[in-house]
Amino acid sequence: MNRAHILLYTLLFFFVGGNVFADSWVKKQNFGGDARHRSTAFSIGNKGYMGLGHINAISNILYEDIWEYDPASNTWTQKANYGGGLNYHAACFVVDNIAYVGTGRILSGDYTTEFYRYDVGTNTWTAVANFPGPARRGAIAFAVGGKGYVGTGQTLAGVSKDFYEYDPALDSWSTVAQLPGAARTSAVAFELNDKGYVGTGGSSTWGNSLNDFWEYTPSTNLWIQKANVGTTPRMEATGFSVYGKGFIGTGDDQSSGTNYNDFWEYDPTTNTWVQIQDFFGMARRYLVAFTIGNSAYVGLGTNGTNFKDFWEFDYLLSDNELEDGLPQVTTYPNPATDYFTVDFSNIPEQMKSNGCEFQLFSATGQLLTSADFISSNLQVNVESFERGVYFYHLVYNSASVKVGKIILN
């Protein structure tokens, strides 16, 4: 494996402040079906499930298969196909070990309001009451207090912000307070401490990414705005919650076509976000996730190429508790024209003295230039480079410990 591959996959140790920490992302057995994106994922008990989705690079291929992941054996087993047939960009939630999956886009190109429940004990799908709002894809869902909540997404009329509650005991839907922020599609939702959380997304079909974040309390039917997600607006991201914390990462900015691999942790007690270790797979959009116990599992997605890799996130191995945080690197001007300066005066002294390197990559992963840090600033000449988006890596001991973006105008 050459250095470029090491940097792109970041599969070694993470160094901060003179200490070496184990990686929080662990590669697992690849997803059992084809590579794809806009898929659906959920967990029931000690098993996880992924499926549906599509490929649209050349022709639009849709899927209806569902695969079960067993973390004990690190294996995938195909289960009964989704009751609604071929579908992508559907929403799902789980109540009392029953999964509910619905909405999305079907083979005809139409959006659907159909919803189905999956019983893992009998491996069967059964139709339930249709979603009551306009048909849509890219909606989000969470479950709190024995009820499911579904909202936002792309409808024929445009992006939406309406929300609905599903009562499994009555097999009925009712309207709840709509999301107060912008209408959106391809957002992220998760449940945490008996509340629902919604953030990021696109306020139009092809751009205008967001990073606002909202908390929903079912008992009061009220939304409260919380701290924005990180520093970068994004859509088509993924999220989950473990150990009383929320996590959002990856995704893209449709306006520039940039895919991300950064991850952020939310603490509801302090209403703050901190950046944690980047996702170890390739930067992408439409990564999907489920949780089993205190581990999260993520996979699939696309950056133009569809993926089937699958990863476990172990919170106890993450660097989120580091007092020194991530190395601080500043680049300016950004956007740049003929050159930009890298200021790494705030990285740990041991990293400087033991050899730290700056490397610049194209958007396709080609290593373009590199330089060792021998002073507190480094000037990079990019006058001859094509205009566009580039990525830099701060490298220590052959591992990428900081990733950032440079735009050339």
Q: Which stretches does DSSP call E strand in 131-229?
A: 140-144, 147-155, 158-167, 172-176, 188-192, 195-199, 202-204, 207-209, 213-217, 222-226
- Bridge partner residues of 267 (DSSP): 272
**What are residue 269's phi and psi, to 5 degrees?**
-75, -30
Helix (H), strand (E) at residue 388? strand 388-396
Determine the pLDDT at residue 10.
34
Question: What is this structure's pTM?
Answer: 0.75
Give the side-chain half-sphere CA count within 13 A for 149: 28
How far apart, in whole angstroms, are the C-alpha atoms of residue 42 and residue 142?
Answer: 11
Which residues, in sequence order, are CB contacts of 209 under 8 Å at separation 6+?
A: 200, 201, 202, 203, 233, 234, 235, 251, 252, 253, 254, 255
Determine the pLDDT at residue 78.
98
- Bridge partner residues of 222 (DSSP): 217
117-130 pLDDT tens trace:
999 999 999 999 99
Determine the pLDDT at residue 25.
87
Q: Which stretches does DSSP call E strand in 194-270?
A: 195-199, 202-204, 207-209, 213-217, 222-226, 238-242, 245-249, 252-253, 258-259, 263-267
Determine the pLDDT at residue 251.
96
DSSP string, 354-371: T-EEEEEEETTS-EEEEE
Determine the pLDDT at residue 344.
77
**Which token pair is 316?**
């106890």
How far apart, in whole angstroms, are the C-alpha atoms of residue 252 and residue 233?
Answer: 8
Radius of gyration of the chain (CA): 21
- At 8 the three-state DSSP class reads helix
Burial profile 44-54: b = 16 or more Cβ within 10 angstroms, e = fewer: beebbbbbbbb
| Residue ranges of the chain whose pLDDT lies below 70 | 1-23, 57-58, 205-207, 255, 316-327, 348-355, 363-365, 374-375, 396-401
Q: Which domains does the chain have, with CATH numbers?
A: 25-317 (2.120.10.80), 330-408 (2.60.40.10)
Residue 307 exposed, middle or buried by CB count within 10 Å (0-12, 13-18, 19+): buried
Determine the pLDDT at residue 18.
30
Helix (H), strand (E) at residue 4? helix 3-9
How far apart, in whole angstroms, are the C-alpha atoms of residue 102 and residue 118?
Answer: 11
Listed residue (402, 404, 283, 398) closest to 12, CA to CA? 398
